[in-house]
Amino acid sequence: MSTDSSFQSAAVILLREAFEGVASGQNYTWFVQGKEGMLNALESVDATRASRKPSPDCASIAAHSYHILYTLRGANEAQGRPRPEGSWEDTWKVQTVTDEEWNELRAVIRSEYEVFIAWFESNQDWSVDEAAIGSLASLPHLSFHLGAIRQILKVV
């Protein structure tokens, strides 16, 4: 197995865990606890709870979710997908969602994740530093937001 394919296989396992939690047929995780990946965490929350801020100066789960969506769309832009609308800072402006907005947001996050992971699994060219670093940087970034969402869930 080449270094690139070893890197790619390991990265796919960790990205899937970040979003999907424990892998099917596996009884352990590398860094998330149990099934609580990003998608599970978001599905466990309704729009009302996702819209609550843990304190006046903190972002809601909805805001974290819009930020995650922007990050995924930015990663998918490198594959020829449309550039995400707005700016990095704009992602934090929407703190509350309706039931319909929340359902749509979660569905779009899942869809963008599926595009991203499919590309990550099939990409054969890791020679461009920006592609490798940018794609892999999504793992700690998204893991940070998963941790933040888990903490917010304890207080809202």
Q: What is the pLDDT of residue 9?
A: 87
For residue 57, is it within any domain? yes
Instruction: Judge contact between 125 and 31, C-beta under 8 A.
Output: no
Question: Does 4 map to a domain?
Answer: no
Q: Is residue 135 part of a domain?
A: yes
Q: Divide the 156 residues of the chain into consecutive groups of 10 and give the mean pLDDT of each group.
A: 70 90 81 81 96 96 97 87 90 96 98 93 76 79 92 92
Catalogue the long-range contacts made by 116-124 (C-beta closer than 8 Å, 24 or more residues apart): 116/15, 116/72, 116/75, 116/76, 117/12, 117/15, 117/16, 117/19, 119/76, 119/79, 120/8, 120/11, 120/12, 120/15, 121/8, 121/12, 123/8
Q: Is 74 exposed, middle or buried (0-12, 13-18, 19+ CB in 10 A)?
A: middle
What confidence score (pLDDT) does residue 2 get? 55
Asked if residue 137 is part of any domain, the answer here is yes
Asked whether residue 131 is domain-assigned, the answer is yes
- Number of domains present in the structure of the chain: 1
Examine residue 31 and state whether it is found in any structural domain, yes or no.
no
What range defines the domain where residue 58 resides?
Answer: 46-153
pTM as predicted = 0.90
